[in-house]
Amino acid sequence: MTLSSLLLFVAFFVGVFFPLKKCEEQQPPEDKLLVVTIATRETDGFKRFLRSAKYFNYTVKVLGQGHKWKSDGYMETPGGGQKVRLLKTALEELKIQDKIILFIDSYDVLFASGPKELLKKFHQAGHKVVFSSESLIWPDRHLEDKHPHVTEGNRFLNSGGFIGYLPNIKEMVAEWKGEDSDSDQLFFTKIYIDSTKRKSINITLDARCRLFQNLHGALDEVVLKFEDERVRARNLLYDTFPVIIHGNGPTKLQINYLGNYIPNTWTFETGCTACHEDLRPLTALKENDYPLVLIGIFIQQPTPFVTVFFERLLKLQYPKNRLKLFIYNQEACHMHHVSSFLQDYGSLYRDFRFIESEENMDTAASRNLAFDTCRKDKDCDYFFSVDIEVVIMNKNTLNILIEQNLSIVAPMVTRAGQLRSNFWGALSADGYYARSEDYVEIVQGRRVGVWNVPYVSSVYLIKASLLRTELTDYKLFNSHNVDPDMAYCHTIRNKGIFMHLTNMHSFGHILSTENYQTTHLHNDLWQIFENPQDWRDRYIHENYTHIIKDKLIETPCPDVYWFPVFSDIACNHLVEEMEYFGKWSGGRNVDPRIQGGYENVPTVDIHMDQINFEKEWHKFLLEYIAPITEKLYPGYYTKAQFDLAFVVRYKPDEQPSLKPHHDASTFTINIALNQLGLDYQGGGCRFLRYDCSVQAPRKGWALMHPGRLTHYHEGLPTTTGIRYIAVSFVDP
Ligand X SMILES: *[C@@H]1O[C@H](CO)[C@@H](O)[C@H](O)[C@H]1NC(C)=O
Mind telling me the catalytic residues? 723
Q: Specify the stretch interacting with ligand X by CB under 6 A; choose among 122-130, 253-261, 340-348, 462-470.
A: 122-130
**CA pair distance 672, 689, nearest whole angstrom:** 22
Q: In this structure, are residues 122 and 163 in contact, taking their beta carbons and an 8 Å threshold?
A: yes
Rg (C-alpha) for the chain, rounded Å, is 36
Strand 100-104 and strand 33-38: the pairing is parallel
Q: Which SS3 state, helix, strand or coil, does residue 90 take?
A: helix
Q: Which of 491, 483, 535, 542 is nearest to 512 (CA)?
A: 535
Whose Cβ is closer to ligand X: residue 128's or residue 686's? Answer: 128
Q: What is the closest distance, in whole angstroms, from the C-beta atom of residue 547 to ligand X in the complex?
A: 11
Q: Specify the stretch interacting with ligand X by CB under 6 A; choose among 84-92, 126-134, 460-468, 712-720.
A: 126-134
Q: In this structure, are residues 658 and 619 in contact, taking their beta carbons and an 8 Å threshold?
A: no
Whose Cβ is closer to ligand X: residue 92's or residue 542's? Answer: 542
Whose Cβ is closer to ligand X: residue 352's or residue 535's? Answer: 535
Q: Which of 264, 394, 543, 610 binds ligand X (CB under 6 A)?
A: 543
Q: In this structure, are residues 535 and 617 in contact, taking their beta carbons and an 8 Å threshold?
A: no
Residue 542 sits in the site that holds ligand X (CB under 6 A) = yes
Q: Is 621 exposed, middle or buried (0-12, 13-18, 19+ CB in 10 A)?
A: buried
Q: In this structure, are residues 219 and 245 in contact, taking their beta carbons and an 8 Å threshold?
A: no
Q: Taking CB under 6 A as the criterion, which residues in 633-662 touch ligand X? A: none
Residue 538 sits in the site that holds ligand X (CB under 6 A) = no
Q: What is the closest distance, in whole angstroms, from the C-beta atom of residue 200 to ligand X in the complex?
A: 7
**CA pair distance 5, 1, nearest whole angstrom:** 6
Residue 120 identity (one-letter amino acid):
K
Q: Specify the stretch interacting with ligand X by CB under 6 A; choose among 120-128, 149-157, 616-624, 723-731.
A: 120-128
Q: What is the closest distance, in whole angstroms, from the C-beta atom of residue 54 to ligand X in the complex?
A: 8
Q: Which SS3 state, helix, strand or coil, does residue 649 take?
A: strand
Q: What is the closest distance, in whole angstroms, from the C-beta atom of residue 292 to ligand X in the complex?
A: 15
Q: Which of 61, 146, 177, 280 binds ligand X (CB under 6 A)?
A: 280
- Kindly provide the residue ranges of all beta strands, DSSP E only, lying in 7-99, ordered along the sequence: 33-38, 60-63
Residue 291 sits in the site that holds ligand X (CB under 6 A) = no
In degrees, to the nearest 5, what angle opens at C-alpha 383 toward C-alphas 381 and 387? 165
Per-residue x/- marks for ligand X, 404-443, CB under 6 A?
-x--------------------------------------
Whose Cβ is closer to ligand X: residue 56's or residue 712's? Answer: 56
DSSP state letters, 122-172 = HHHHTSSEEEEEESS--S-GGGGGGSPP-SSS--EEEEEEEEEEHHHHHHH
Q: Specify the stretch interacting with ligand X by CB under 6 A; choose among 92-100, 121-129, 172-180, 522-530.
A: 121-129
Q: Specify the stretch interacting with ligand X by CB under 6 A; choose among 125-133, 358-366, 384-392, 623-631.
A: 125-133
**CA pair distance 92, 71, nearest whole angstrom:** 24
Whose Cβ is closer to ligand X: residue 543's or residue 572's? Answer: 543
How many residues are there in the chain? 732
Q: Taking CB under 6 A as the criterion, which residues in 46-105 touch ligand X? A: 56-57
Q: What is the closest distance, in whole angstroms, from the C-beta atom of residue 127 to ligand X in the complex?
A: 5
Whose Cβ is closer to ligand X: residue 128's or residue 509's? Answer: 128
**CA pair distance 667, 732, nearest whole angstrom:** 8
Which residue pairs, CB below 8 angstroms and at least 24 apart, start in 620-628?
620/528, 621/645, 621/669, 621/728, 621/730, 623/528, 623/532, 624/540, 624/544, 624/565, 625/565, 625/669, 625/702, 625/704, 625/728, 625/730, 628/547, 628/548, 628/553, 628/561, 628/563, 628/704
Residue 29 sits in the site that holds ligand X (CB under 6 A) = no
Q: Which of 671, 706, 668 is nearest to 689 (CA)?
A: 706
Q: Specify the stretch interacting with ligand X by CB under 6 A; choose among 76-84, 123-131, 206-214, 594-602.
A: 123-131
Q: For residue 19, give every residue at least 6 positions away whose Cβ sits within 8 Å of its Cβ, in sequence order, or none.
A: none
Residue 607 sits in the site that holds ligand X (CB under 6 A) = no
Whose Cβ is closer to ligand X: residue 202's or residue 513's? Answer: 202
Q: What is the closest distance, in whole angstroms, from the C-beta atom of residue 282 to ligand X in the complex?
A: 10
Whose Cβ is closer to ligand X: residue 146's or residue 280's? Answer: 280
The gap between the terminal CA atoms of the chain, to the nearest Å, is: 96
Which residue pairs, CB below 8 angstroms and at least 24 apart, start in 138-144?
138/185, 138/249, 139/78, 139/183, 139/185, 139/186, 140/186, 140/189, 143/189, 143/190, 143/193
Q: How many residues bind ligand X (CB under 6 A)?
A: 13
Q: What is the closest distance, in whole angstroms, from the C-beta atom of residue 280 to ligand X in the complex?
A: 4
Q: Specify the stretch interacting with ligand X by CB under 6 A; choose among 124-132, 234-242, 246-254, 614-622.
A: 124-132
Q: What is the closest distance, in whole angstroms, from the C-beta atom of residue 655 to ligand X in the complex?
A: 29
Residue 572 sits in the site that holds ligand X (CB under 6 A) = no
**CA pair distance 162, 37, nearest whole angstrom:** 11
Q: Taking CB under 6 A as the criterion, which residues in 156-215 touch ligand X? A: 199, 202
**CA pair distance 237, 103, nearest whole angstrom:** 25
Q: Which of 121, 128, 232, 573 binds ligand X (CB under 6 A)?
A: 128
Q: Which of 15, 73, 126, 250 binds ligand X (CB under 6 A)?
A: 126
Residue 465 sits in the site that holds ligand X (CB under 6 A) = no
SS (H, E, C) 333-383: HHHHHHHHHHHHHHHHCCEEEEECHHHCCCHHHHHHHHHHHHHHCCCCCEE
Q: Which SS3 state, helix, strand or coil, does residue 448 take?
A: coil
Q: What is the closest distance, in whole angstroms, from the C-beta atom of residue 346 to ligand X in the complex?
A: 28
Q: Which of 24, 179, 278, 379 binds ligand X (CB under 6 A)?
A: 278
Residue 549 sits in the site that holds ligand X (CB under 6 A) = no
- Kindly provide the residue ranges of all beta strands, DSSP E only, lying in 440-495, ordered along the sequence: 450-453, 455-456, 459-463
Whose Cβ is closer to ligand X: residue 127's or residue 322's? Answer: 127
Per-residue x/- marks for ligand X, 377-406, CB under 6 A?
----------------------------x-
Residue 276 sits in the site that holds ligand X (CB under 6 A) = no
Residue 545 sits in the site that holds ligand X (CB under 6 A) = no
Whose Cβ is closer to ligand X: residue 157's or residue 327's? Answer: 157
Helical pair 306-315 and 335-345, crossing angle rounded to 10 deg = 20
Whose Cβ is closer to ligand X: residue 80's or residue 697's? Answer: 697
Q: What is the closest distance, in whole angstroms, from the C-beta atom of residue 659 to ligand X in the complex?
A: 32
Whose Cβ is closer to ligand X: residue 127's or residue 713's? Answer: 127
Q: Which residues bind ligand X (CB under 6 A)?
A: 56-57, 114, 126-128, 199, 202, 278, 280, 405, 542-543
